Amino acid sequence: MQSLIVSGGHLEDCFAASYMEKNQFDLTIAVDLGMEFFQKKSQVPDYIVGDFDSVNPITLQEFKEMKEKGPKILQFQPEKDETDTELAIRTAMDLGSRTIHILGATGCRMDHVLGNIHLLGMGMRQGVEIIIIDSNNRIRMIQKGIVIKREEQYGRYVSLIPFTPQVTGITLKGFQYPLDHAVLECYHSLGVSNEIVAEQGEISFQDGVLLVIESKD
């Protein structure tokens, strides 16, 4: 089951609409301000999740008035431990999602951006792939090796950021800057801005957690 979450961060409407057209989703969730994107596109998400402190009240009311034809609404108090995006991820996983794409998870609020990146670990721990994506970046968190085909990569650059104090035994094949059983450590920038030069880039490692960020200029 593949799901889409549209959160309340920076969202480029044209990119988001194109991304939805190119990908098939079994479940769509609007997070607070994210529901305004669906309203603009005259689309109805399956769920609306959040405390609704950011969305235009008129937008929220329009969805509520749809009743049985509208989305299922999960409203929470603003005073809570989780962000709205975390609640949306939990909802998607509870409903059986195995892959979750999140739009609107980046933007000017760096606290929310970093918080959203941390949320990738929720899925990783449960075997659910969570992808944060915008027009310039695709961000994933992994605890085992992956292969990125050059024809399928998202942009020119591939950066590997250790999310644990160390990522050990890391080996890179097919990259401009290969590694052979190296160690990536926090507080260093060794893994930033690599490039795939073969048909595919192979990333393997023994222990640790990596952020994989594919970027465009």
pLDDT value for 78: 86
Q: Is the pLDDT of residue 118 over 90?
A: yes
pLDDT of 127-152, one tens digit each?
999 999 999 999 999 999 999 999 99
Q: Is the pLDDT of residue 217 over 90?
A: no
> How confident is the model over 161-165, as a mean pLDDT?
97
Q: What is the C-alpha separation between 136 and 215, in angstroms, rounded?
A: 6
pLDDT confidence tier of residue 79, bands split at 50, 70 and 90: confident
Q: Are the beta carbons of 48 and 71 closer than 8 angstroms?
A: yes
Which domains can be identified in the chain, with CATH numbers? 2-135 (3.40.50.10240), 142-215 (2.60.120.320)
Mean pLDDT over each residue of the chain, to the nearest integer:
95
Q: Are the beta carbons of 1 and 98 closer than 8 angstroms?
A: yes
What global pTM score does this model have?
A: 0.95
* Sign of the Cα pseudo-torsion (22, 25, 30, 31, in order): negative
> How confident is the model over 166-187, as a mean pLDDT?
97
